Structure 1
Amino acid sequence: MNGLFQLSVIIPVLNEEANLRELLPLISAHGGKFVVDLIVVDGGSKDNSVAVAQEFGAKVFELKEASRARQMNLGAKAAQGNTLYFVHADTRPLPSFAMDIQEARLRGFRAGCYRYQFDSDHWLLKINGWATRFNGPFSGGGDQTLFISTSLFQKLGGFKPDYCLMEDFELVRRIKKRWSFYIIPKSIVVSHRKYVNNSWLRVQLVNLYIFILFLMGVSPESLKKTYKKHLKHG
């Protein structure tokens, strides 16, 4: 990678006030000189997400539309760094995240993600986390966060805006067709909140079903409807 490593952290949110109060200070404290942009893109929150993001010094953009793909594209358009780092509000990157990504970029990787572990000691969730170390067809989900060079993101045209679900897997599939995709051998922490109102088995089966439909080319809107139909959301 030529030139100074500059990282733009982009966080799409919808009603994530509490998570932002934890996540933004973490990124600011550990990103150091490498983070040139801390960008929050709100999708029409009804809570104080926007105010909290502003309080912690993030650049805030309001889309008024809960579409992670469109939110992340908007954030990327405003980013100044040569590397983009997309982070969900309920994940907690490691204190070493900026150095980890810089090392991967210096090794020639233009895109990649982390492994993850849940904020739960449940043995079944530990199995989920263990599986994220493999760079297979199920790798690259948004919970693993995603780093990608700005030039590659632009070359690929970003996230496909019509993808209201599986936008992360769709982009990673395009990346893998032509470039190496790197999984940083460290685990970030992910919220297990989707499992609070659904059993482990139910979540796994629904996720597998959605992934199969995705591979079959089912429309993103249909995927979203199916997902919401089969899982309870608290």
Structure 2
Amino acid sequence: MISIIIPVLNESETIKDVLHHLIDNASLNSISEIIVVDGGSTDDTKDIVKSLDLNIVLLDSEKGRAKQMNFGAKHAKGDILYFLHADSFPPNRYDKYIIDEVHKGNNAGCFRLQFDSDHWWLRLASWLTQFSWRACRGGDQSQFITRALFDEIGGYDENYIIYEDNILINELYARNEFVVINKKLRTSARMYEEHGIWKVQYHFWTIYVKKWFGASADEMLAYYKRHLC
């Protein structure tokens, strides 16, 4: 059984569509629950979730995606955890693909990515995510992981306000516990559209290199706030 965990903060524009998509594109016999973990939204996100009458578990948590995802995992009942951003839409039968990989002995992984943009660079970046290269990974691709492996690693590192997805992925690659499912997950290009594709890509690369050279969580967060907030 899969527990889907979605951290949210002011996601009123997308949360309804994402929740309906998750239900319409899976066998509910495979889904233990869908958990939405709110980090202090000031828009209508929580009211929308409550109004849908979809038996969604809605939790309140401290702000911070790592904290929210760990909190959701703590309350999850499934033996497979599936972490998903609120603006990402996994492929049809995503539950079957995840369970099939776990049955093969692949205890963690993601889907390949497709941005909802026709810009040539984002199309190229999306195409590259089908390969297993570490540099092509990120939280937007979603993350499935068995409960046992998640607990063994210790969950998401809450010291990281940004880059928390990549810290977990680094742990998985170090254990040779990662597979890319060659099915497309569609995600929003809204940050690229808001700040500019080349600006965002440059600063994301810079953060990646800073971490490679040993930058701390606080240093990376300060850089992100200075350039992308």
Q: Is the structural similarity TM-score above 0.5? A: yes
- Residue 18 of structure 1 corresponds to which residue in structure 2? 13
- Residue 209 of structure 1 corresponds to which residue in structure 2? 206
Contact 1:213 1:223 in 2 (8 A): yes
> How many Å apart are 1:54 and its aligned residue?
2.4
> How many Å apart are 1:49 and its aligned residue?
1.1
Query: Distance in 1 between the 2:172 and 2:142 partners?
Result: 15
The one of 97, 100, 108 equivalent to 1:100 is 97
Query: Distance in 1 between the 2:177 and 2:158 partners?
Result: 24
The one of 113, 130, 133 equivalent to 2:110 is 113
Q: Which amino acid aligns with 2:197?
A: W
- Residue 29 of structure 2 corresponds to which residue in structure 1? 33
Query: Distance in 2 between the 1:30 and 1:126 partners?
Result: 24
Matches within 5 A, 1:120-139: 120-139=117-136
Query: Distance in 2 between the 1:48 and 1:35 partners?
Result: 26
| Structure 1 counterpart SS, 2:112 | strand
Q: Percent identity?
A: 36
Query: Distance in 1 between the 2:56 and 2:180 partners?
Result: 27
The one of 134, 150, 159 equivalent to 1:153 is 150
> How many Å apart are 1:24 and its aligned residue?
0.4
Contact 1:9 1:84 in 2 (8 A): yes
> How many Å apart are 1:152 and its aligned residue?
0.5
Structure 2 alignment gaps of length 5 or more: none
Query: Distance in 2 between the 1:54 and 1:99 partners?
Result: 27
What are the Cα deviations for residues 68-115 of structure 1, in whole angstroms up to 9, with x where unaligned? 000000000000001000000011111211011011111110000011
1:84 aligns with 2:66: no
1:143 aligns with 2:140: yes
Query: Distance in 1 between the 2:47 and 2:57 partners?
Result: 11
Query: Distance in 2 between the 1:125 and 1:218 partners?
Result: 27
1:52 aligns with 2:48: yes
Query: Distance in 2 between the 1:115 and 1:126 partners?
Result: 12
The CA RMSD over aligned residues, in Å, is 1.2
Q: TM-score, normalised by structure 2?
A: 0.95
Q: TM-score, normalised by structure 1?
A: 0.93
- Residue 61 of structure 1 corresponds to which residue in structure 2? 59
> How many Å apart are 1:227 and its aligned residue?
1.4
What are the Cα deviations for residues 191-213 of structure 1, in whole angstroms up to 9, with x where unaligned? 01011222222111111100011
Contact 1:86 1:147 in 2 (8 A): yes
How many residue pairs get matched?
A: 226
Q: Which amino acid aligns with 1:21?
A: K
Query: Distance in 2 between the 1:197 and 1:156 partners?
Result: 35
Runs of at least 4 residues off by over 3 Å: none
Structure 1 alignment gaps of length 5 or more: 1-5
